[in-house]
Amino acid sequence: MAAFTEGTPCWVEAQLPDLEAGKRFYGELFGWTFDDDRDEALSDGKRVAGLLPKRDGRMPTTWTVYLATEDAGVLSARIKTAGGQMIMEPYPVGRFGVMALAADPGGAVFGLRQAGDDDGFEKTMLPGSFCWMEVYTRERDAVDTFYASVFGYLGRQVAADEEGRESDFDYRVWSPPGSRPGDESAFGGRAVLTDAFPAEMPGHVLVYFAVSDCDATCATAVRLGGRVTNPPFDTPHGRIAVLHDNQGARFAVLAEPVDAERTDAERPTAEVPVTDGATRPATEPAPAPPTRPVRESGPEPTPERDARPGGKPPATPGDMS
């Protein structure tokens, strides 16, 4: 059975205070259905994410990305040696394999997944499924070194003018070991938490889901009780927004460009309605956008897009609410 490349995203999961409310929210937002026996969300009948009840109310409500590994024990030791920490040491989860929770030197929390007898993502890069991960940190150098030494990530520093950003724009794109660094192999990136971000915002991982229409998704999220932190904005790679669900879990959505010929006047407004019917601008700096567009044809035929996970780990301290 094919397996994900070491260190690449293989599953995402949210633990929610009210699981049934979460299912209603994401079911309408992304068109997900649910396998209650496995605590998994399905898109077009294919596994795309996990939704579980939160076991510890003291923990933040958040989306967690799991990175693939062949040996969670060995990788855990490597994480600690490189300056990270283990929040939850590897533990077995039956047919789902072995899982763990870790934090990088900047405090961003992520999961580890050693595959068992079951698969994880069956669909990525298409509407209703995972498409990108982003690590936000104030410890740029330490974090860059950490992911390179622990996972062998190959990094490419993005030029500010590529993204139409100011000269101090600092974004690094990651590709898996053994690949050729660049947009075609990239699966995520690292962004810097500058002084423009709230001082209380910790290092965290932002999970992106692909959607067909960014603006419509934001309007639906608000109607369902969620909120929009960063209203939709255009990038060379698509239209992006950052949201919180109806229980506070933060995530981003990305819609691939449909018509590059539209003028600015023809583009949808970058404001969306909030629950009181008003409009508002972004309340925090816009995220650094993915540098690789969503693929219309589905997951690319590489091993890391074919493989395993799913699982039931404990609540995850990490991404802020």
pLDDT digits 0-9 by tens, 69-94: 999 999 999 999 999 999 999 999 88
The residue extents of the domains of the chain are 9-122+301-305, 130-280
Full-model pTM: 0.81
If one counts every other C-beta atom within 10 angstroms of the C-beta of residue 166, the result is: 8
Tell me the residue type at 54.
K
**Looking at the domain that runs over 9-122+301-305, which CATH code has it been given?**
3.10.180.10
Task: Enter the DSSP assignment of 303.
Answer: G
Contacts of 254 (CB under 8 A, 6+ apart): 131, 132, 208, 209, 210, 211, 214, 237, 238, 239, 240, 289, 290, 294
Same fold, 9-122+301-305 and 130-280: yes
User: How do residues 126-168 score in pLDDT, each as one tens digit?
Assistant: 999 999 999 999 999 999 999 999 999 999 998 877 777 776 7
User: How do residues 234-284 score in pLDDT, each as one tens digit?
Assistant: 988 899 999 999 999 999 999 998 754 443 333 333 233 333 333 333 345
CA distance 252 to 134: 10
- What's the CATH fold of domain 130-280? 2,3-Dihydroxybiphenyl 1,2-Dioxygenase; domain 1 (3.10.180)
